[in-house]
Structure 1
Amino acid sequence: MDFKVEKFEDVAVIHVFLIRATLAKAVKFREFVNETIDNGTVKLIVDLSMCEYVDSTFLGAIVSLFKRVNSLNGDLRLVYNKEAPSLMFVLTRMDKVFKTFQNIDEAIQSYGVNRPPKLNWK
C-alpha cells in the first residue's frame, strides 16, 4: 500500500508511504487523491514526511490536485521534513506556494480541526 487516507471531520490526510515519490507512482497518487475529492472532501493534507525525494512529475501531480481543490473552494497543505527538503521543492519555489507543516497535528489544526488523542495501550 503506497497511499492511505485518514479523515478528521471534513479534512482528509493523504499519507504517502514512498521513500522516492517519482513518475512511477504519480499517476496512481493523482487517481487516489481525485477519488477522495470526488467523494466530497476538498480540505486535503498530503503527508510527505516519509519521502526523501520528490521528482518533478510527482510534484506536478500535487500541483494539479492543488488547482483542482482550489477551484472547489478547498485547499491542499503539505507535511514534509523541512530539515531535509526535496531539492525539487526548493528549485521550483513550491515551498513558497504550499502551506507546509512539520507534522500532521499542526496541519490538521490549521484547518481548525483537532485530531483526537491517540490511545496508549498498556
Structure 2
Amino acid sequence: MLDFERRMAYGFVIEKVNLSRATIKEAQEFKVLLDEDILRGHTIIIVDLSECEFMDSTFIGVLVVTFKKLVKLGGSLKIVKPGLFANSILNYTGSIEVFEIFDTLNDALSSIKDKKPLREEILN
C-alpha cells in the first residue's frame, strides 16, 4: 500500500494518508502532493487521516501551510477524523481550531457538495 493515495469524488480531491505515524520523514512528500493539487487548480482539499494515529509537528506544519495557501485562494482544507492520538496533538497545538474536522469522508464531501447525502461508493 502506498503511503499516500489521491482520489477524486465529485470533482474534489481527496488525499488519504495510509500511515499510522506521519512524521518528518513523510512530510516533504506529502507537501509536494498537496502543492500539486493546488497547482492543478484545486482550492478545496480533503485530507483523510482516518488511519493516522500520530503526526509530528512537521507533518502538522504541512497541513497548516497548505491551509493558509488554500484560504488565500478562497478555498479550504477539510480533515477526516484523525486517530485519537493525532487528534490530541491537533488539540495540543491549537491546530484543531483552524481545520474543519469531520467524522467520515462522506461528511466532509457533504459539507461542500450541496448538502446532499452521498453514496458510500463515491471514490474512483
Q: TM-score, normalised by structure 1?
A: 0.88
Q: Which amino acid aligns with 2:38?
A: I
Contact 1:4 1:16 in 2 (8 A): yes
1:23-102 to 2 correspondences below 5 Å: 23-81=24-82, 84-86=84-86, 87-102=88-103
RMSD: 1.8
Deviation at 1:106, TM superposition (A): 0.1
- Paired residues of 1:23 and 1:58 also in contact (CA < 8 A): yes
Query: 1:110 maps to which residue?
Result: 111
The Cα shift of 1:46 comes to: 0.4
How far apart, in 2, do the equivalents of 1:62 and 1:2 lie?
16
Question: Alpha-carbon deviation of 1:116?
Answer: 4.6
Identity of aligned residues (%): 31
Q: Is the 8 A contact 2:23 2:58 kept in 1?
A: yes
Given that residues 21 and 54 in structure 2 are in contact (C-alpha distance below 8 angstroms), is that contact kept between their aligned partners in structure 1?
yes
Moved over 6 A (4+): none
**Runs of 5+ unmatched residues, structure 2:** none
Residue 117 of structure 1, CA deviation: 4.7
Across the two proteins, how many residue pairs are aligned to each other? Answer: 118
Distance 1:13 1:79 in 2: 10
**Gaps (5+ residues) in structure 1?**
none
